[in-house]
Every structure is written in structure tokens, then in C-alpha cells.
Structure 1
């Protein structure tokens, strides 16, 4: 479950600008602020089922965007490459040129 939550949070970070305001708010409340479906439904005056359906549809949309654009996949690949580069430089020099590595990390 934690893996799914982490993945959805990353997908949300990458693709939230493609969502409606309502979708963004439900996702923020549910995934980032840890509101329950009932709490969200009370806040918006809709049924718990309506909130659940909206969140599930939004998750599907995020996955669909990822299938087409691969932003999360590329992010993970870059992160691994930076870690490998960091390890390689440590083996070569015993230290890492921090400003360069840190700049690469901050690109994402």
C-alpha cells in the first residue's frame, strides 16, 4: 500500500496541472493531507462514493498520463544514474564534487 501511495504522490506531482481543480483538491486531501473519504465528502457536501469514484478515476488518469509521457519513469532512471555516478566518483576520488551532483539532483 505504501508503494502505491508513493507512486500516486509522484504521479500527482508530475501531472497535477493536467487535472481539474476538484480533482487536485480531492487528491491533495486524500493523499497528502491524509483525509478520509468521509471527511472529504463532508467538506464538499457529496457522498463518500462520489469522492471514492473521483479519486479512482483521477488515479487512472494519472497512470494514463504516465503511460504516454513517462515522466516518473525517466525521473527514476535519472535518480539511479546520479546515484551510480556518485558511487563511481567516490571510488575514483574518495570524494564527490558536491556542487555538480547536487545540481543534477535538483534538476528534478
Structure 2
């Protein structure tokens, strides 16, 4: 089996060259929100997110997924509002509040029909 010892380095280089202009800037803070659902079988679905002066990027998506995964509190739909910042390469910080949205009446399904 042949292994490319530079594969990870090459991957990071291609990511920077392709999407680097979209990456969060180190030391800058972005105000925003995220809405996600956590399902009965453990599936996490990011439904919506927006941050002021920050475009979507692979780094932002990865940071959001990690943040959501650290704050799971039972199935439901949640909203986080606050600020996001890049501390250093590969390290991100989220500050703000998470609240569970009450959609049970909207999504209630009649049993037995």
C-alpha cells in the first residue's frame, strides 16, 4: 500500500487556494445566529445560519457543526444567537445563548389517521 504523507498538507493548501478568501479572519468577531434540529435518531441538521460580514466557507461549516455537537440537549429545534470569532488557525470561539424553539404545535401529527 502506498501512502501519500503529504496528502493532508496538500488538502489544506487546495482548500486555502480555493476558499481562502471566504475564511473567517483571525481576531475578528462576527455577530450571527444558527438554527438547527436534533432528531430522535441522533441526526443533526443545520437549518439556517447567518453572520454579519462573513461568507459561508468550509471552516465556518465545520466550526458550526462542532459547536452544535457540543451543545445537544435532547431532540428538538434550537436557535443560537451571539458572536463567532477565529482565535487562531483551527480554533474558533462561540459566545451567546441557545434556546429551544417550541414548534410542537406546528409539527404535531395526529396518531392513528
TM-score range, shorter chain: under 0.3
Structure having the higher strand fraction is: 2
Of structures 1 and 2, the one with the larger relative CO (CA 8 A, separation 6+) is: 2
